[in-house]
């Protein structure tokens, strides 16, 4: 499957996908990496691997809707079968979802529906949960609300701070992302209400 990845930061999830894609039987060809800002390690990782990149900053557009349309058109120009938001810190809008709804994946560093939003690890620590984790989901119009593809539990340790907990979550998050992006790339799949159903035969 052709894959476009959108990033806003360090891009370790992107790197895990790049590394997995190096194996032919993984079934994923990363055709472009897009970002909403310049100068980030995520873009540098793509460039080092010879992957095409693009940047669309919201500030360059009249409003969010215009940015959303431009993003949808740009991603569509690469004709992807799957899109992954890998630490992409913007909400995609209606124009994007009209084209890529049902085949755009995101990860969240908490066990949805707990602790949605920007600070999953911090909020889990503040609440005092003993187990948190990461969630892979199909993007919808909400914040971390889409149909869940997979989840992985991660323990909160006694002396964790936000950064140590987030790093432990990210290790599990990357493994889950790599496993499921490969699975979804190699199968037909569809959404049945909130369930992700895999086709019987690999594509
Ligand atoms: C991940 O934990 C992701 O879930 C969160 O931001 C982090 C991105 O990390 N939204 P990276 O840029 O892939 O290293």
ipTM over 0.85: yes
3-state secondary structure of 113: coil
3-state secondary structure of 161: coil
Q: What is the pLDDT of residue 201?
A: 65
Q: What is the pLDDT of residue 203?
A: 62
User: How much helix, strand and coil, in percent to the nearest 5, is found in the chain?
Assistant: 40, 25, 35
CATH number of 177's domain: 3.40.50.170
Do residues 100 and 72 lie in contact, with contact meaning Cβ atoms separated by under 8 Å?
yes
Q: What is the pLDDT of residue 24?
A: 86
Tell me how many domains the chain contains.
1
190 is catalytic: no
Residues of the chain with pLDDT under 50: none
Q: Which helix (H) or strand (E) is 190 found in, with range?
A: strand 187-192
3-state secondary structure of 103: coil
Place of tokens 């993984």: 26
Mutate to test the pocket of ligand 1, among 18, 91, 170, 175 (most ligand atoms within 8 A of CB): 170
Which of 49, 108, 166, 187 is the catalytic position? 108
- Residue 64 assigned to a binding site: yes
pTM score over 0.90? yes
Write the residue with the smallest CA distance to atom 7 of ligand 1. Answer: 87
170 lines ligand 1 (CB under 6 A): yes
Distance between CA atoms of residues 75 and 132, nearest Å: 32
87 lines ligand 1 (CB under 6 A): yes
Tokens of 151: 């989840």
Angle between helices 12-21 and 41-48 (to 10 degrees): 20
Q: What is the pLDDT of residue 78?
A: 98
Full residue range of the structural domain in which residue 189 is found:
2-202
């Amino acid at each position: 499957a052709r894959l476009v990845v959108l990033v806003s930061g360090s891009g370790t999830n992107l790197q895990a996908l790049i590394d997995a894609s190096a194996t032919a039987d993984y079934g994923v060809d990363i055709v472009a990496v897009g970002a909403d800002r310049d100068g980030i390690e995520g873009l540098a990782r793509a460039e080092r691997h010879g992957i095409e990149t693009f940047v669309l900053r919201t500030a360059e557009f009249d409003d969010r809707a215009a940015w959303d349309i431009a993003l949808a058109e740009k991603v569509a120009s690469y004709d992807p079968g799957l899109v992954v938001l890998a630490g992409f810190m913007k909400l995609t809008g209606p124009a994007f979802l009209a084209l890529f709804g049902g085949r755009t994946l995101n990860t969240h560093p908490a066990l949805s529906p707990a602790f949605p939003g920007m600070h999953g690890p911090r909020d889990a620590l503040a609440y005092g949960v003993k187990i948190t984790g990461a969630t892979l989901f199909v993007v919808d119009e909400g914040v971390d609300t889409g149909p869940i593809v997979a989840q992985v539990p991660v323990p909160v340790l006694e002396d964790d701070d936000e950064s140590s907990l987030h790093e432990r979550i990210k290790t599990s998050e990357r493994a889950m992302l790599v496993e499921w992006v490969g699975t979804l790339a190699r199968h037909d799949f569809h959404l049945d209400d909130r369930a992700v159903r895999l086709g019987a035969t690999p594509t």
